[in-house]
A and B are shown apart, each in its own frame.
Chain A
Amino acid sequence: MRHIYILISASLIGFFLIIQMRSFEDVNDLLLRDQESNIFQEIRILTEKNEDLNAEVISLEDTYAHITDQNDILDSVEDEIEKYQKLNGEKSIFGPGITVKLEGDITTPWITDLINDFFNSGAQAVAINGIRITNRTVGFDTLPQGQILLNGSILSAPYFFDVIGESQVLSDILQLKGGIFDRLQNNFPNLKIEITRKEVIQMT
Chain B
Amino acid sequence: MKDNFIGILVFLGVATGLLLTWQFNTEVPIEGNFPSDEVEAREELLKKFLDEQSYLQSRIVSLRKQIEDSQAAFEEQTELVNLGLLENLKTGVGLTEVIGEGIEIVLNDSPLALKENFSNDENYRIQASDLRDIVNILNAASAEAISINNQRIIATSPISSVGTTILVNNAHIAAPFSVSAVGDTNLMLERLLNQSLLPVIYTKRRDAAVVFDIFKKARINVPIYNGDLKVNYINLVE
Q: Which residues of A contact B (CB under 8 A)?
A: 3, 6-19, 22, 32-39, 41-43, 45-50, 52-57, 60-61, 63-64, 67, 70, 73-74, 76-77, 80-88, 90-97, 108-109, 112-113, 116-117, 119-120, 122-125, 133-142, 164-166, 202
Contacts and interface: CB of A to CB of B under 8 A. Distances in A.
Contact of B77 (A17, A35, A70): A70
Contacts of A3: 5-6, 9
Contact of A139 (B21, B59, B142): B142
Contact of B86 (A77, A86, A87, A122): A77
Contacts of A52: 170, 227-228, 230
Given A84-B92, A119-B158, A77 B133 contact: no
Interface of A is mostly: helix
Nearest to A166: B233
Interface size classification for chain B: 35 or more
Contact of B56 (A11, A54, A108, A109): A54
B70 to A, nearest CB: 5
Given A74-B81, A94-B235, A94-B237, A53 B17 contact: no
Contact of B13 (A8, A57, A97): A8
Contact of A6 (B13, B59, B137, B229): B13
Contacts of A35: 160-161
A14 B17 contact: yes
B22 interface: yes
A122 B231 CA distance: 11
Contact of A95 (B82, B137, B234): B234
Contact of A11 (B14, B133, B157, B228): B14
A50 B67 contact: no
Given A45-B162, A53-B227, 16 more contacts: A6-B9, A10-B10, A10-B17, A12-B17, A14-B17, A14-B20, A15-B21, A49-B170, A57-B63, A70-B78, A81-B86, A84-B92, A90-B92, A91-B236, A124-B234, A138-B136
